[in-house]
Amino acid sequence: MSRSRAWLGSLYWRIALACLGLLAAGLLIQMVVVVATLSRPSGLRARVTAQLLAKTVAADLQEALEFDPAASVRAVLARHLDNPLPVYFVTVEGNVTGADVDVPGPEAGRVAALAAEHAGGLDRTDLPVGVAAVEVLGQPEGHVVVLPRRPGWAVLRELGPWPLGGAALSAIAIAALLAWLAFAPAHRRLQALEGAATRLGQGDLTARAPEDGADEISRVSRAFNQTADALAAQIQRVTSEQDVRRQLLADVSHELHTPLTTIRGYIETLRMTDLPLSEADRARYLAIVDDEAVRLERLIGDVLDLAKMEAGGQGLKKEVVPIEALWTRLSDRYGPAATAAGVRLVFDAPMFDVDADAGRLEQAISNLVGNAIRFTPVGGEVALSAHALLTGGVRIDVSDTGVGLSAEDQARVFDRFYKQDASRSRTGTGLGLSIVRAIAEAHGGEATVRSTPGHGSTFSVTIPA
């Protein structure tokens, strides 16, 4: 768009021009009113002025007719055209003559009526008119009538073009200055809002409009900023989700690649007919393949569970779960594994219940117990305890006497595929604690960890009422 077209299309300039147009129209109307008022004077002064003019014209006309009875009345009246008041001569027969043009019928009737009233002895002191008799050698010839009405051009000529033009230009200049003072700040704020919208459209998520003031522009700016904040948050959320998906895909691909590579390698070895293998070696290779297949199955199951929990695609089936019954199932499941690992498994004796999804809660606590047994050395202890909260919820703690976690490990321990010690976590998938956190958050609670390196760790799952 060219600069001139942009100037004409600007709302700011259109409003300013509209204001100046309204001012010009107001000045024009005011001038018309003033001219109309001045062209029809009233009062004693106007009547005296008209009467003096009528007597002056009557004297001139009387002198001209006495000198030459055939003199032109119109020529005598024309001598007084420089006077703004209209002058007429009415004969005794009622004929009306003007100074330069024929007198219209209604105007002639009015003039003749005034002359007749004066001839009849009626003096109209209520009207600012002048009437004077014209007698030639003692004989009445008619009357000179001067009306108070003046043409508009005469009024304008009396006022003068320079005062009128100066007043009009001064008023327009003052109006333009006031308009600029009133609209310039608004124009700057509109430009700032336009600039912010342009930058936001170009991808600058930090672009914001100034919210100064309490008018419509400031309200539009606030609405724009709220929209920009929501858009930036949405884009940030989508970007974060995309980063998480990409990272999850990369992690899953890596974790799947390891067991698949192992399985494929041993299968290819078993298929080599020219390679002599003892039955013991063959059985050992098949056992490794079976272990990797089980690990692969567990990894896929954990990934699916985590995806369902984080996407909210699998609703919770809450019910009243007795803590004592939960302890019993966990003892039956992990008691033999703890005994085999040389770890003592201890449960407290709670006498209350928790409102939760029984299956998901057991899955979360099972992941914590399995991790605790795996990382606790021989002779250590894994203790489970439940605590009723003042808010009505329940906190379940799983404590161990293992190696503990550093501050860095505690900050990342719930991340997907994070392993404190890869060499010691070969049998894990790296998703167990992520599933624990997802289950806790699905219940409206949280999963936390407290640990001191060398003195064990305590993992907690809080389930609100």
Identify the structural domains of the chain with CATH numbers, from first to last: 41-149 (3.30.450.20), 208-314 (1.10.287.130), 316-463 (3.30.565.10)
pLDDT above 60 (res 43)? no
d(CA 442, CA 445): 7
Strand partners, 133: 143
Using DSSP's 3-state secondary structure scheme, residue 401 falls into: coil
Mean pLDDT, residues 297-305 = 74
Summarised one tens digit per residue, pLDDT across range 271-294 is: 887 777 788 888 888 888 887 788
Mean pLDDT, residues 295-319 = 72
Q: Which of 70-74, 82-86, 234-238 has the lowest mean pLDDT?
A: 82-86
Answer yes or no: are the C-beta atoms of 463 and 445 closer than 8 Å: yes
- Please enumerate in sequence order all residues whose Cβ is within 8 A of that of 412, keeping only pairs 6 or more positions apart, or say none: 418
Show the tokens assigned to 226.
């709220």
Instruction: Using the Cα atoms of residue 212, residue 213, residue 217 and residue 219 in order, give the sign of their dihedral.
Output: positive
pLDDT above 70 (res 244)? no
d(CA 223, CA 210): 11
- Please enumerate in sequence order all residues whose Cβ is within 8 A of that of 114, keeping only pairs 6 or more positions apart, or say none: 124, 127, 129, 131, 143, 145
Quickly count: other Cβ atoms within 10 Å of residue 193's Cβ.
20
d(CA 163, CA 168): 8
Residue bearing tokens 């600069």:
3
Answer yes or no: are the C-beta atoms of 348 and 386 closer than 8 Å: yes
Task: Supply the pLDDT for residue 461.
Answer: 95
Answer yes or no: are the C-beta atoms of 115 and 144 closer than 8 Å: no
Q: What letter would DSSP give residue 215?
A: S
Q: Which of 48-52, 82-86, 339-343 has the lowest mean pLDDT?
A: 82-86
Instruction: Using the Cα atoms of residue 136, residue 140, residue 141 and residue 142 in order, give the sign of their dihedral.
Output: positive
Residue 184 to residues 7, 189, 215, 353, 447: CA-CA distances in angstroms?
15, 9, 14, 69, 57
> What is the pLDDT confidence band of residue 37, given thresholds at 50, 70 and 90?
low
pLDDT above 60 (res 327)? yes
> What is the pLDDT confidence band of residue 82, given thresholds at 50, 70 and 90?
confident
Quickly count: other Cβ atoms within 10 Å of residue 447's Cβ.
21
Rounded to whole angstroms, the maximal C-alpha distance in the chain is: 169
pLDDT above 50 (res 153)? no
pTM for the model: 0.47
Using DSSP's 3-state secondary structure scheme, residue 291 falls into: helix
> What is the pLDDT confidence band of residue 209, given thresholds at 50, 70 and 90?
confident
Residue bearing tokens 């219209």:
104
Highest-scoring range by mean pLDDT, 168-182, 218-232, 254-268: 218-232
The residue type at 243? D
d(CA 39, CA 22): 25
Extended beta strands in 201-325, E state? 318-322
Q: Is 119 exposed, middle or buried (0-12, 13-18, 19+ CB in 10 A)?
A: middle
Q: What is the CA radius of gyration of the chain?
A: 54
pLDDT above 80 (res 422)? no
Higher confidence at residue 322 or residue 218? 322
> What is the pLDDT confidence band of residue 1, given thresholds at 50, 70 and 90?
very low
